[in-house]
Structure 1
Amino acid sequence: MKKILSAIAVMALLCTACTKNNDPVLNEQPTAAGQLSLTFDAVLGSNDFALNKDFLLSGKTWNFSQLRYWVSNVVLINSKNEEYAVPNAYFLIEENNAAETNSAFLYPANKREEVLLNGIPAGDYKSLKFSVGVPEKYNNNLSLQAGELSQLNGMTNVSWMWATSYIFSSLKGKVTEGPASVKFAVETGLNSNFKTIKLDLPAVLRISSAKTSSILLQADVTKVSEGLDLMSSPVVGAQQASAMSTVAENYASKVFTVKSVK
């Protein structure tokens, strides 16, 4: 009798094993992850953006000393309309000369257009979302740290709110028209000017562990101050609320386009 029971038990185990081996869900391998290169290439119309160089645009001569903006909350949307939010996605995109900060620290000259995103779930993606600025949670409390957020980069301002908050974007330089020349500083900030951009990709973005995929965006600096006359009003900040709102909307709807997907 014991031998019969033992045989039955062995057969049951074998059947269970067969069931598991044939179960596609239980045997499914973990989804592989890949890497994505996300590049924000600054341009001036058809020209490549550069610092300390004269550009003739619409009858005015422009010379830039700084371009900086925060990219936050990067999200990829796949072919099933499922969203993947990249963790700790707070990046400072910049092209700037050495600059003073709110401390004794001198921020060095730097050019940074590319961010590498790791651990992206494998799959086919059709759209990209990201925000320009810093979310309210971190903008209202600079003691909270995430991603690259820091007070040491000179992108904070104590005069915009009751407490110090982040500068979302900063474009500085000099513009000349005829004999007149003025220095300009175009900045955005404040929670109301935190803007999210959604861009449909011109081709499928395929993420896999086999290679690093890439999205190349163009950021047209000529669009940043569109609708404003910087010759007559060269400073844009919280005291110029309407102008700041215009700049924030420009970032949201005009500045960024997708150049290529690979």
Structure 2
Amino acid sequence: MQSLPLSSSGFDPGREAEALLVAELAGGRTVLRRQHVGYPFHVTRPFQLDRMRPELATLYLQSASGGFYAGDRLKLDIVVGAQAALNLTTQASTVVHDGRGIGAVQRQSVTVRGRAFCAIVSDPYVLFPGAALSVETTAEVADDAILIMADGFAVHDPQRRGGLFERFSTRTRILRPDGTRVVFDGGSMSGPELRGRFGTLGGMAAAGTVFMIAPADRLPDLAEIEAVCDRCGCLAGASAAPNGAGLAMRLLAPDGGALTRGIEAAFHLAGRAALGIELARRRK
């Protein structure tokens, strides 16, 4: 009798998957008017966690597969309708596995319509040895709308053998509805560039970025948002975003835990400035 290999023993070339979420205001609350979520994406029902702002819906985006794998090509489209309010967050950090020379890509398209609020706050990606991930985001934000985006990465070598990730790159474009480009941000780094205290991250093992696109009177104080992140164990640097669009901030941290706390603190301060309330804790 011939012994055949298990189907799982071959190399999986990766997956292509798309998710679409359309949030709109209805009856004083933000609801998911449309959703199409393919594997490995999974979303919970919307939660109303903030009693003072019942229109604000919080939605947890989950991965049912255990992270990013070589060859993954995932796409996420988010539309927040006029006057709606949506906070999309993750249930935990997402592991990025060995990219096997081809890596993984996540593309995100975000549309925030007039007087809407959208906060996309992700726990850091965890880069395992050999990991290669590219995150590409295009956001269209109305002049009177608010968009908060926060994410980052942390390096992890579970075997403690000095393994390094291959590459992490991001590209973010933020536009107005007429196509005017207000912010363009991009960067890329490899694992070897992080070596030593004089590496790209100055000896740190985690880094993140926060954008807040909002009218000037809905922005937090730059010094205050830096200080609140510093108290979480991060090194934070905030500045005005180009074209008067809002603010931008970089975070460095010694590990993923400190970075997660810094991102969470920045989100709560930015949310308070935007919505005028202290937001409830988003339990993970």
TM-score by length of 1: 0.27
Which one has the bigger strand percentage? 1
Greater RCO structure (CA 8 Å; 6+ sep): 1
